[in-house]
Each structure stands twice: as C-alpha cells, then as structure tokens.
Copies of this chain bind each other. A is one copy, B any other.
C-alpha cells in the first residue's frame, strides 16, 4: 500500500496491476450534444465499469497491492455504496475475505449486491460513531486491512487510472471534469492530469446542495458535509486529509450546480446517448449546461462515474 502521494510511476504501476481485471471503458461522443452545447464532449463511461462504477479501479489496486500476510486476513471497510461492492468484488477475485460495515438501514438492493460478491456484512446503527466502532471491532478480530473509500493513496492511484486512460486516447484536452464527493476520483484525476496532460484544466463538479468541497477549497480547510440534500447519493461525503491536500494544490476550480440542472443533464444523457448513468455522474454535464460560455469551442473530457440507479425511482417521474 502506498504511504505517500502517488507519483507518475505509482499510477503507471497501478494501471499495470489492475488492467487485466478492470474493464477498459469506452469514451463516447454525441454529435447532438456537441452541437447543442457548442463544444466537443468526450464521455468516459465508468458506468460500464465492473460493479457499475469507477470505484472498482481503486478497490482493485488496493487489494492487489497487499502483501501475502495481509492478503490472508482480508480487507474491511465501511460503506453502503459503490465502494463496498467494489471492494467485495476485488476481494472475491483475489480469493480473500472481505468485511463490510453497513448501516442496518441500507437499502436491501445494496445489501444483496455486496452479499452476492461473497462479502461478510456487519450491520450497525446508522451513526458515524456506531460505524467506526463496528469497523474497529472487525479489524481487531480479523486483522483485516482497513481500506478507506478515498483517504488512501492506493485507492487514489487506482482512481487516477481513469484519467490516465482518457489521456492515452485523447490529446489536447482543454478541460477534464469529474464529480467530487470524498475526492478520491477528483484527486486521482488531478494527479494523472499533472503527469500526463499538464495543460488540461481540472474542474470538480459538485451539487450546490452538497458544496462542502467547494467551500473547503475556497477557505483552505475541510468542512464536514452536513445534511446534504442532493439526489447525488454518491457525493454525500466530505473531503479527507489526503484528498484535500491533493485538490488544494492541483484542482483548477470546483463548480457547483443546481439540482434541476443535474436532473436535466441526467435525462439528456439517457435520452440522447442511450446510456444509464446515476445522478452523481450527471453533475459533470450539468457544469457544462450552467457554464456554456466557459466551455464554448473547447475539448472537454467528462468522467461519468457510475450507473447504479434504482430503476423504480427515476428523478423525473
């Protein structure tokens, strides 16, 4: 596991390590959306990634970076979202145990997904304290290695491989836009951009209703995410020490967007591109929508972070 901010070589190594088990996701374009927004948009489809989200990159890199002794005891985390499923699958593929601490109140569909990958679920009360205590107990009992969803340099190096793949295929990208929640994907994107496409500007996309990252970068200190009221269920967490430090030094700007724009952007991508993305992915196109002049005539890469949506509950119904 990495103990320092990932170097260029660390990201190359991470990609080499995970390339045979991740899906090499396509970059799609839409001539309709290009002419509508007056710029060249390139959508990196992590909704097609295994487990339906970019999180599988980081989880794979973390698991495949463990030593033999650590592998024996397995991995643990707390999450009810895509990181839990990603870590469970990465552990299953390496044939090691995984322990996921999850609030009792998590939707059945998420419990099933994680269980389907063979993880052991430890249920706790839906509070931060209960979650941390449950995790501590699991780690003490099993000696599993705790894999934080984003405050972990091996996770960040794994997420960085997504932008790396974009720069393998595209040159002269003016902007790259990634969603920001805990900051794992965005900080990985910043590092890969520095190393592989240093003229590209990195924009973080965040819901206005959960703008803790925007305020944290503006004011130079980490704000907690307090009762965010956004449909972007992947962007509810706040930055950590490691992600904040990378973003602070590297991100060009964080742009916040309205909920209505997120829903419009999500629907536009479903209707025009015929692909399923979750609301957290749609913040990237919502940024284009609310800032048309900034991106006019530019070449812009957008990371569609995931596609896990409850098809019974669409935000426009």
Contact = CB atoms under 8 A, between A and B. Distances in A.
Copies in the complex: 2
Interface in A252-308: 267, 270-271, 273-277, 307
Nearest to A306: B274
Interface string A17-49: 000000000101001000000000000010110
Contacts of A276: 270, 274-276
A317 B312 contact: yes
Contacts of A274: 45, 47-48, 52, 275-277, 307
A111 B315 CA distance: 26
A128 interface: no
Contact of A317 (B31, B307, B316, B317): B317
Contacts of A52: 274
A11 B254 CA distance: 51
Contacts of A277: 274
Given A52-B274, A274-B275, A317-B317, A311 B267 contact: yes
A284 to B, nearest CB: 16
Q: How large is the interface on A (under 10, 10 to 19, 20 to 34, 35 or more residues)?
A: 20 to 34
Considering residues A28, A275, A317, which has the most beta carbons from chain B within 10 angstroms of its beta carbon? A275
Nearest to A274: B307
A38 B45 CA distance: 26
A314 interface: yes
A33 B26 CA distance: 19
A111 B267 CA distance: 20
A311 B317 CA distance: 9
A189 to B, nearest CB: 21
A32 to B, nearest CB: 9
A210 to B, nearest CB: 24
A271 B28 CA distance: 19
Please name the 4 residue pairs, one residue from A and one from B, whose CB atoms are nearest each other, closest first. Answer: A274-B307, A274-B276, A47-B274, A275-B275
Given A274-B276, A274-B307, 16 more contacts: A28-B48, A31-B50, A45-B274, A47-B274, A48-B273, A48-B274, A52-B274, A267-B311, A270-B276, A270-B311, A274-B275, A275-B275, A275-B276, A276-B276, A312-B317, A314-B314
25 contacts: A26-B26, A28-B48, A31-B50, A45-B274, A47-B274, A48-B273, A48-B274, A52-B274, A267-B311, A270-B276, A270-B311, A271-B311, A274-B275, A274-B276, A274-B277, A274-B307, A275-B275, A275-B276, A276-B276, A311-B314, A311-B316, A312-B316, A312-B317, A314-B314, A317-B317
